Each structure stands twice: as structure tokens, then as C-alpha cells.
Structure 1
Amino acid sequence: MYVLSGSNVHGQWPCAELFISKFQDITLEGYNSSFKLKEAQLLCPNWSYNIFIFKDTFYLAGAWCGSDSALIEVKLPDQLKCYKHTSLILTGNDLKLYLINKISYDIWLLNIEDVATWNWQYKKINTSEDIFTNEQESPCKKPKTKTVIVKAVPTPYSFILLTSDGSIYDALTKIDTSHCIGRVCDVDYGYEHGILLTDKGHIYTWGNGKRCQLGHGDLITLEEPTELEALSGIRVIKIKTGGWHSLALSESGDLYAWGWNDTGQLGIRRGDEKKEGLNSYPVPTLVELYDDEENVIETNVKDIACGSRHSAIVLEDNTVWTTGINKYGQLGFDPEEIAKLDSFKKSFVCEFDASLQCGHWSTCVLSKDVVQKRIKIESFGWEVGQ
């Protein structure tokens, strides 16, 4: 089940509205008779398109080949016909699609303008030298390593890879994580910064910090993942990044936020006066929730998600709370009535065990069975972030 609010201007979802200003169940069967949304898995939401998998086939939904509301079946390279879709990852950004073989470390790139011709470009990660090579081996050949790629995160210009042994690749190069405490089990990336999580609950960030998004109390750029000292004594179980902000969820159900807060995307209120928050927070800050009567909400947070400049969370009672910019209705409220929120406000009450996934300008509430199926597809039997 998918419940959506926010932008649909390119027809990424089979829904007539361009702007979905209140959460609604996307119940239509799909874009055509053969595609059924209720059975499809959302793999990657983007600004102008979504990536789905349905019955062992990848689909692109949205703006393609000069038209909106298009549904296109992805044509795989001939070399991948011997593989099941569960051993492949498809992700992308506004420039390229990235098709990744989890087992053999083969990667195919496709420029967005080449979707009509499906002119895939082949690359390969050479794990011994930690760089891509153009030498193509048989993709069906048994891999020399027991490790597999378990997650691919698109960045504005490339992608980040996570392997089952905790290695991180930033497109062409391997990132040094030997100093990290524990094995890296999850990774996410915003517009200019990355964040990773280890199985010991430690968080590390790297990249551009000019909007405080690294959480180290300064504006410097870091080439190497560096531990967030403010959270070093707290076991974190989930991480998410927005455009220039990040969220972290502790094992006790507490929410921490840091980075740019120009539209209230952190949901942090300043002091006891409950005033509008600061424009940015340079270190992770505990976020408190309040109801409409200004009473503190004691219910724990169980899931988190970030859009470009908004954030969403789910509490253990399956209520959804949102904050930040609401230009396209991504917070679940009419944008003509609420242009933005400076703190989290309850926007939806679920009747099912809920989880979250945000696009750049949208918020999607997923049922638990959808999430578990997606994890199985994406992680090749190895669950990330746990």
C-alpha cells in the first residue's frame, strides 16, 4: 500500500493530481493493464521519475522521452540476461541511470537522454585497485569475492555503494572506513554530504559542510568520514539525509537533527519560548514534538525520512509527522493554507504498520509488507541499517 502527498507534476504516480496536498491512498491499478502498483516495489523516487520493480521487471515512471506520465519498461543489457532482478540494483539521478550487478561488481551507466535507445555504457569496479576498469569479464562468471553490493545511493552526479563487508565506494574510489568503530551497515547522501552508520551505532559524515550539514560544529569540508562526537555516546539505528540536513534515530526512539534549517526542515523549536528555530544547527540536536495544545509528545519515533527541504517521521502509534517546506503539499497539508512548518506537526494517522520514503518534494507512507519486500529485493538477503 502506498499513501502519498506532494509533487506529481511529471506523473511519477498513477494519479490525476499534479499536487497531492493531503495524504491519499494511491489505489489505481497502474499506468496500464499489465502494471499493478499495489504489487510493485518503489526502489528510487526522484524529482521527475520513480523507479519500480514489478514481476521481475524494472520500470521508469514519470518524465521520459519528451512526455510526462510515461511508464517505460527498462531494457537490460544483453550481458545481464543470465541474472535475476534480485541480483541487480537500479538507481539514478537527473543525469544518469545506474544498473549495478550486486554479485560481479559490474556497472552499466545510461544517460537520461539515451533512454529511448538504451545505449548502456559498461564499467567495472576493480576491488583490488579500488577503481573502475573498462575490461569486461563474463558477467555470469562466479565472483572471486564472497561480498556483494547491498545498497546503491544516487548522488547529484554519481552514486555511493555499500557492500556486505561494510566497504563504501564513492563512484570511482573506495572510501577509507578502516577507522570506523564497527562494520558500516548503512549509508545515505544529500546534495553535497554523506553520512554512514556502523553496526555499533556510530555515525560518520563527510563532504561539504558549508550549511552545517556535517554536524561537527563548523563549516569545513571533510574528505574522510569523521565521527559525530555529539552522538558518540548514543547508539543510533537509522540515518537519513535531505538536501543539506540530516536526521538520526536512536535505539531509544529519540530523534536528532542537524544542518540547514531555512524552511524549518529540522523541526527544532528554540528554547522554552517555543519560537521559530534557527536557520541552521551545526551539531545534532534533540528534537521534541508537541501537540496542538503545546503538550510534549512522549511516543517514540520508529522511522525517519528526508526530502530536499522537508522531513517526515512515524511514531510508534503509526502517526505521521512532517515539517519544512510545503510548496507541493509534501507535508500533507494544503500549501495555500500552510506554506511551511517550523516544527513537526501530525499530518496523517495510519491504519497499518507504517514506514516512510521521501522523494525530493514528496512523502510516501508505506505499509510494512511493502518495506520488507523492497529490503529483500535491494539487499540480496542482507538487511542494511540493522
Structure 2
Amino acid sequence: MNWFGFGFNGFGQIQRQEKSTDGESTRNAKLTNPVPIEVWRNSQSAQSCQQNSDVTQIRASWSRIAVLHSNSPRRLCLAGFGVGTAAQRCCIESGSCQDADIGEGYMALSFLDRVEIWSSGKNKPEWSMEVKTTDNTGPCVAFPLVPGGYIASKFPFYRPLSPHLLAVSLALGTQHAVLLSATGDVYTWGSGSHGQLGHGNLSQEEEPRALEALMGLQMGSVAAGGWHSVCISAGGDLYVWGWNESGQLGLPSLARRGGQQTIQCAGSANTCTDQENGDDVFISIQAFPALMDVTESCEVSKVSCGSRHTAAVTRTGVLFTWGWGEYGQLGQGNVSSSDEPKQVPFFKDQGLRVVDVVCGPWNTFVSTVQEDTIS
């Protein structure tokens, strides 16, 4: 597989910043088309991190990314703010590291037998926790879940969860959480100020609460953006809810279509009508899950959320993006935003099939294979 990135590159986290003849950095902060990721420099100390094809996972914060390689020895490479030299970029021989989560001031690493929290600029973990499993094969849940709870980005890092939830996957937004259970049910908690909990209101939930609107529908995956949430059903249908200010739900957005006209909003600021045109209805906040058609004929297999944009992969390997596009994170060759899903043409034009997508707050990362490798 090969990985591409596009969107915010202000700290060289996707494509390194070249030096001009006068020694100044020529920074390209907006990458509007996909480019191969570059988390290394051409030097002896980075040789083991020079293969894009052995990248297994990418995790992104606003200013940095963490890239896990499968080569031996396994390495976790960093790129972005505060990461300058090749030695720093490939500084961690990760051994049995299975996954990572990265923020602006910390990085969480998940191993077969433990979890570690590293602060920026430190050469050793500041916090660790043993993970006990019965067969020594590591957790059977997806990070940031760990047996009995999950790892948060702020102290206390370990947060317990009831075993009755049967959690198998967890997505963390800016102020909310979306959990998928083994039974296919979805639970949310945290801030609901933008409808991101999906319970039909803007209230906060202190404890995980089942999403009643999706009860009876088996879900297969969940994702969380800054203030919006999405999930994919077992059948490949996409459901969205939360804030739609930039069209990140793929629903009509006033900012994308109506400009600054005077509008009248009903209820809890969910539906707004353009008073000048009357018939145009815009969605500011979608407080209940809504079924969204990414494409008429294809089911969705993968989805990821940025701060205010969303990206989805169909089961035929096509990438669609929508929402805020100020830094090119939609991959459409421009900095326009969109409240409608649009196919990213680059990959089809290159004969590539998309197999995975991971969104950072202001950028997007895509894993691909050649079409002719698909049997």
C-alpha cells in the first residue's frame, strides 16, 4: 500500500519544506492535490523509514503526524511541528507498538502489554499503564480502547467504561465520544452543544447513552469530528449528525450556498430558512442521525472526520470528501468547501484504488493500492 496526504502542511507534516538559496524555508501550507507522504529525509539515520509502502497506520493532530511502519525493527516516525531532523523523525523503535494517538502536546502509544503517554520534547514516557490480557496477544479492542476503559488526551488518561457496553471501537471528538458496541449499537457522551451526541437536543451527557434513533440498525464503525459524528451500518449506509456549519454532514449549509442572507431558524437552531428565497432550507445543526447518500450505487466501507470535513471510501475503492476545504483537505485541487460529497478524481486518474482514509483536523491521509493488484 502507498499513502498520500493533502490539506494543511504548515509544519511540513505531509511534504517537507524545501530550503531556498538564501536558506529560508519555502513553505507550502496548502496542498490541494494528493502527494506521497514524506516523513523522512534522505540520510543514513532515516534509511529504515524511507519506504512509503510499509506504512501501516497514520495518526494526525493539527501540527504533527505519527506514522507506524511495519518494517523490522518497527519504527514510529514523526513529522511536523518540533520535528526537524531525520533522527527526530524516526526516533522511536516501537517494537511491539500496535497503534498510536497524537495530540499537540502528547502522544499515546499502545503496546501488546502496556500503554504509554509521551509529552512533546521528552525522551521517556511520563505515564504508563500495564495492559493485562489472557493470551498475551494484546487487547482485542481498537485503541484508544483498552481492557476495562479507554485512554483520553487529558489527565486522568485512563477512563473506565462499564463492561456491559461491550465496547469494540471508540472515536473521540473535540468534546465528545462515540462508542460502538459488539452488538452494533452506538453510544455517545460528552458535550452536545452542536448536536454531536445525536439525541435530538444540545444537552451534555456525563455517561454513555445509547443512540435510540439507531436502535435496531446494526452499525459497523464510528467516527467523530470536531463537533460532528458519523457511523456506517453493517450494510454500508452512512449516518451523520452534529454541526453542519461548513457542510461537513453533506447537508445543505448556509455558509456554502446562501452567503450572509438574513435567515430565520426554528427549534434548537436545527433548520434555517432563507427569508429572501423562502424555499431554501439549510441545516445548521442536525441533532438526530440522518441517512446520507454518498453515492447512489455504492456502499461505504470507511469513513473519517476532520475538524470540519469528512471523507468516505466506497466498497469499490473510490474516495469522496465534503465540508471545509480552506487548506485543500478535500483533495479537489482547490480551497473551496462543499456541502455535497464529491469524488476525488486523482486516485482514479492514477489507476489507484483507495482502501483506507484517516483525517487530521485540517488534512486527509489516504492508503491506496494499484487497481491491477485487486483480484
Shorter-chain TM-score above 0.5: yes
> Which residue pairs with 1:161 in the alignment?
145
Displacement after TM superposition at 1:102 (Å): 3.1
Whether the 8 Å contact between 1:162 and 1:187 is mirrored in structure 2 is: no
Displacement after TM superposition at 1:4 (Å): 2.2
Change (3 A) 1:30 1:343: same
Amino acid at match of 1:306: C
Greater mean deviation of Cα atoms: 237-246 or 5-14 = 5-14
Q: CA RMSD, aligned part only?
A: 3.1
> Which residue pairs with 2:360 in the alignment?
359
Amino acid at match of 1:91: D
> Which residue pairs with 1:284 in the alignment?
289
CA distance in 1: counterparts of 2:308 and 2:219, whole angstroms: 22
Q: Please give the TM-score of this superposition, normalised by the length of structure 2.
A: 0.75
Amino acid at match of 1:352: R
CA distance in 1: counterparts of 2:365 and 2:185, whole angstroms: 28
CA distance in 2: counterparts of 1:85 and 1:328, whole angstroms: 35
Q: Percent identity?
A: 26
User: Does the residue aligned with 2:344 lie in a helix, a strand or coil?
Assistant: strand
Gapped regions of structure 2 (runs ≥ 5):
18-27, 254-270, 272-277, 371-375
CA distance in 2: counterparts of 1:189 and 1:251, whole angstroms: 21
Displacement after TM superposition at 1:304 (Å): 0.8
Whether the 8 Å contact between 1:11 and 1:68 is mirrored in structure 2 is: no
CA distance in 2: counterparts of 1:246 and 1:144, whole angstroms: 31
User: Does the residue aligned with 2:283 lie in a helix, a strand or coil?
Assistant: coil
Gapped regions of structure 1 (runs ≥ 5):
77-83, 128-142, 154-159, 291-296, 370-386
Amino acid at match of 2:323: G
Q: Does 1:74 align with 2:91?
A: yes
Displacement after TM superposition at 1:269 (Å): 4.1
Displacement after TM superposition at 1:266 (Å): 0.4
CA distance in 1: counterparts of 2:211 and 2:39, whole angstroms: 45
Change (3 A) 1:70 1:191: farther
Amino acid at match of 1:86: S
CA distance in 2: counterparts of 1:7 and 1:45, whole angstroms: 11
Greater mean deviation of Cα atoms: 144-153 or 228-237 = 144-153
Displacement after TM superposition at 1:167 (Å): 4.3
Displacement after TM superposition at 1:330 (Å): 0.4
Displacement after TM superposition at 1:278 (Å): 0.6
Of 199, 210, 213, which residue of structure 2 is paired with 1:216? 199
> Which residue pairs with 1:176 in the alignment?
161
Alignment of 1:39-118 (within 5 A): 39-54=54-69, 55=71, 56-64=74-82, 67=84, 71-75=88-92, 85-87=95-97, 89-103=99-113, 105=114, 107-112=115-120, 114-115=121-122, 118=123
Q: Please give the TM-score of this superposition, normalised by the length of structure 1.
A: 0.73
Change (3 A) 1:190 1:68: farther
Displacement after TM superposition at 1:316 (Å): 2.4
User: Does the residue aligned with 1:85 lie in a helix, a strand or coil?
Assistant: coil
Displacement after TM superposition at 1:286 (Å): 0.6
CA distance in 1: counterparts of 2:202 and 2:215, whole angstroms: 20
